[in-house]
Structure 1
Amino acid sequence: MSQKNHNQKLKSSLKLLIGFGNPGREYQKTRHNLGFQVIDYLAKQLNLSWQKEKFKGLYTTGVYHQQKIILLKPLTYMNNSGECVRDFVNYWKIPLENILVIYDDLSLPLGSFRYRQQGSSGGHNGVKNIIECLGTQKFPRLKVGIGSNEKILWKDWVLQKFSEAEIKEIKKILLELTDWLLGWIGY
């Protein structure tokens, strides 16, 4: 196979994994940045470094089992993440079934996750913005549980940092999530 054909094969099967979060030191290690934490951990496991910026996003590229991948962290703040995602999808002509949005979810207990091939935003403003920018709900997503606290308003809860006990739980799930994500990349 020529180099051109090999590159075309890799490009035609390109997969885009997007981790949600907010840029800035004050948001690091908050519940709302769990998508960033997951995608950072995956990048580390694949020995990829965050060195490139495009379309208001920080990204890295790699190949896993002959599958070309892009890992992306939109730097537009959560509620405007769709602009960055749309630009990446359009630029690389990525089929919507080849993107995976990874984000925090209040309705799931900490330490759990759920995959959906499509659906509504479920009240998540970042997902809502992607739906608006792509013009469809038909894209895969991986919701990672952050739990909730009835005594704290959800908008305050998502911006709080994880407790030490929660950080231990997150470390456990990162291993399981990475295995799951590598399986998704390779399917």
Structure 2
Amino acid sequence: MQLIIGLGNPGEKYIKTRHNIGFLTVEELQKKETDFSDWRFNKKFNSFLSTGSIDDEKIILVKPQTFMNNSGIAVRALKDFYKIEIKDILVFHDDIDIPLGEFKVQVDRGPAGHNGIKSMIKELRSKNFARVRVGINPKIKNGVSELKSPSEKFVLKNFTKKEEGIIQEIIKNILNKKTIHFSTYQR
């Protein structure tokens, strides 16, 4: 069994914000894979869950409703209840250090300033889970961000119409089986 988590913030006002790219990604995965159940809120885990399978592997899709900075609490509760190993956890999240339209798959990395990941590392007592870092920064030149607003404000703003198109395309690229299949990670 594996957990695939999308990080984001709950509530209507956050739906189209950059910080919610994790939610958007798992929502698209749930729509794409016909074997997944409808999203249901689970009070015990304070998360929306959808269950199904990919390549005969049982998967639980998760959208924690704890707000970004406490995401690890919900993930730890799920991990402990279902006795899931750290290596069987995959997280989708926004990354301001990666250009819009790009992504990186990594394992065993620190939070790099991302409070949702920081919460997960703290609660799981490990950083040895897989992450898909989805780029949200439209203003990176030569590896340097040219954003004018502070990052904590930028991530809570909605995508522009142009950015929405780019995001839909990158989510399609991310959701190929090679990206989400756990056996592709070097551990």
TM-score (norm 2): 0.88
Query: 1:64 matched to which residue of 2?
Result: 54
Question: Which residue in 1 is equivalent to 2:143?
Answer: none
Normalized per residue, the structure richer in strand is 2
Q: Report matched runs for 1:174-185 at 5 Å.
A: 174-180=171-177, 183-185=180-182
RMSD: 1.5
Question: Are residue 153 (structure 1) and residue 150 (structure 2) matched?
Answer: yes
Tell me, in whole angstroms, the C-alpha distance in 1 between the residues paired with 2:111 and 2:90: 14
User: Which of these residues, 10, 20, 23, is aligned with residue 36 of structure 1?
Assistant: 23
Q: For residue 85 of structure 2, what is the aligned residue in structure 1?
A: 95
Partner of 2:127: 137
- Structure with greater proportional helix content: 1
Query: Match for residue 108 of structure 2?
Result: 118
Q: How many residues in Structure 1 have an aligned counterpart in Structure 2?
A: 174
Give ranges in structure 2 of 5+ residues lacking alignment.
Answer: 140-145
Per-residue CA deviations over 1:36-83 (Å, capped at 9, x if unaligned) read 000000000013320241411110100122110000000000000000
Quote the offset at 1:180 in angstroms. Answer: 4.6
Confirm or deny: 8 A CA contact 2:51 2:60 kept in the other structure: yes
Could you tell me how far apart the structure 2 residues matched to 1:158 and 1:65 are?
A: 34
Q: How far did residue 184 of structure 1 move?
A: 1.4
Distance in 2 (alpha carbons) for counterparts of 1:111 and 1:79: 24
How far 1:33 sits from its partner (Å)? Answer: 0.3
TM-score (norm 1): 0.88
> 1:51 maps to what in 2?
40
The DSSP-based 3-state class of the residue aligned with 1:175 is helix
In the alignment, the residues of structure 2 paired with residue 178 and residue 80 of structure 1 have an alpha-carbon distance, to the nearest angstrom, of 26
Shift of 1:138: 1.4
Point out where structure 1 has 5 or more consecutive residues left out of the alignment: 1-13
Distance 1:119 1:103, change over 3 A: same
